[in-house]
């Protein structure tokens, strides 16, 4: 028979999700976003001279290796898979809440796993701050990218370079009195919904879309964070529609499809710091990047897998 003390210990340790550091840059490099590769590497976009890194998560001592500095960019943001080991990456010249020369690059490792073919797939001179980006599950060479300053979603064909404003809504912008003018931040497409966070409005929401993202429905808010000192950053959605959302106050929130939210990791300021993006790997772990330059991992609930709509 177990004593009450052991039961209490078991209960408290069940609540604490263990966090393990996978890799640290030795200097403070802002990692902004990430994407898993089929070979078990994690691609890292950074604010450091437009540099893209790849991190072998299966190595005994994973070390980020520079893939390339994307030409003409000083900072990289959203990244998404558009074909087998081929990615679209947002890059631009970073100013103060304004990027110049916003570009969608393609980074194609399919013929050479270490030396990818890098192209400028589309230039968006009228974009101001592209942030999250996701490929359409049924048309993966087409991506949606949110503009956090203009409050809209661009639809970009990475094959032709053609792009247009696909959807515009107040719930994608930052209110004019926002202290930090960043609206739509993270963006993912799962099935026939585009999910997004809006940092200034503290919301996590979804919009129904057609397969080709030519038609958008109305924005449906799933959860609102009632705080003036916190917000939602990038996130990932699992196969049950459960989201793991970065919060700058050193937390990862878990949001159920019905909108209920709880802190999954962090919250005491010590376990994780400055989360910027989260990925769900097939080993049962989430991999989280930080603005401080580290990648950490923590266990997800048993059976958690990436939503199949996400590529």
Ligand X SMILES: *[C@@H]1O[C@H](CO)[C@@H](O)[C@H](O)[C@H]1NC(C)=O
* Residue ranges in contact with ligand X by CB under 6 A: 21, 24, 72, 93, 100-101, 175, 177-179, 294
CB of 74 to ligand X, least distance (A): 8
CB of 172 to ligand X, least distance (A): 17
Instruction: Report the phi/psi class of residue 200: left, alpha or beta, with left for phi > 0 and alpha for psi in -120 to 50.
Output: alpha
CB contact set of 91 (below 8 Å; sequence gap of 6+):
50, 70, 72, 73, 75, 76, 77, 102, 103, 105
Look at strands 193-198 and 184-190 and give their pairing.
Answer: antiparallel
Q: In what order do the strands lie in the sheet with 86-94?
A: 75-83, 86-94, 99-108, 117-123
Nearer to ligand X, 19 or 263 (CB): 19
CB of 62 to ligand X, least distance (A): 9
Nearer to ligand X, 58 or 177 (CB): 177
Write phi, then psi, for 4 (nearest 5 degrees). -55, -35
Nearer to ligand X, 190 or 288 (CB): 288
CB of 1 to ligand X, least distance (A): 40
Nearer to ligand X, 257 or 269 (CB): 269
Nearer to ligand X, 123 or 299 (CB): 123
Distances (CA, A) of 283 to 124, 158, 303, 304: 37, 31, 10, 9
CB of 275 to ligand X, least distance (A): 14
């Amino acid at each position: 028979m177990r004593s009450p003390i052991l039961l209490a210990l078991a209960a408290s340790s069940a609540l604490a999700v263990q966090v393990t550091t996978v890799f640290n840059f030795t200097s403070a490099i802002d990692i902004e976003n990430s994407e898993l590769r089929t070979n078990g590497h994690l691609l890292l976009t950074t604010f450091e001279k437009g540099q893209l890194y790849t991190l072998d998560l299966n190595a005994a001592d994973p070390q980020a290796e520079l893939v390339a500095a994307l030409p003409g960019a000083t900072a990289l943001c959203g990244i998404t898979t558009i074909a087998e080991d081929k990615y679209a990456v947002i890059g631009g010249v970073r100013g103060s809440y304004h990027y110049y020369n916003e570009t969608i690059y393609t980074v194609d490792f399919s013929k050479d796993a270490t030396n990818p073919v890098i192209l400028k797939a589309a230039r968006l001179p009228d974009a101001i701050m592209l942030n999250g980006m996701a490929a359409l599950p049924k048309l993966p060479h087409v991506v949606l990218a949110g503009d956090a300053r203009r409050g809209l979603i661009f639809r970009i064909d990475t094959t032709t370079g053609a792009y247009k404003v696909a959807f515009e809504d107040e719930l994608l912008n930052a209110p004019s009195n926002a202290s930090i003018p960043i609206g739509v931040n993270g963006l993912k497409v799962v099935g026939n919904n585009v999910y997004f966070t809006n940092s200034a409005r503290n919301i996590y929401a979804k919009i129904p879309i057609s397969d080709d993202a030519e038609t958008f429905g109305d924005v449906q808010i799933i959860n609102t964070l009632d705080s003036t000192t916190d917000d939602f950053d990038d996130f990932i959605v699992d196969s049950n529609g459960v989201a793991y959302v970065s919060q700058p106050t050193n937390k990862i929130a878990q949001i159920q499809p019905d909108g209920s939210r709880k802190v999954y990791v962090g919250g005491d300021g010590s376990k994780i710091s400055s989360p910027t993006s989260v990925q769900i790997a097939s080993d049962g772990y989430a991999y989280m990047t930080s603005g401080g330059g580290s990648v950490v991992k923590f266990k997800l609930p048993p059976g958690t897998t990436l939503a199949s709509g996400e590529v």
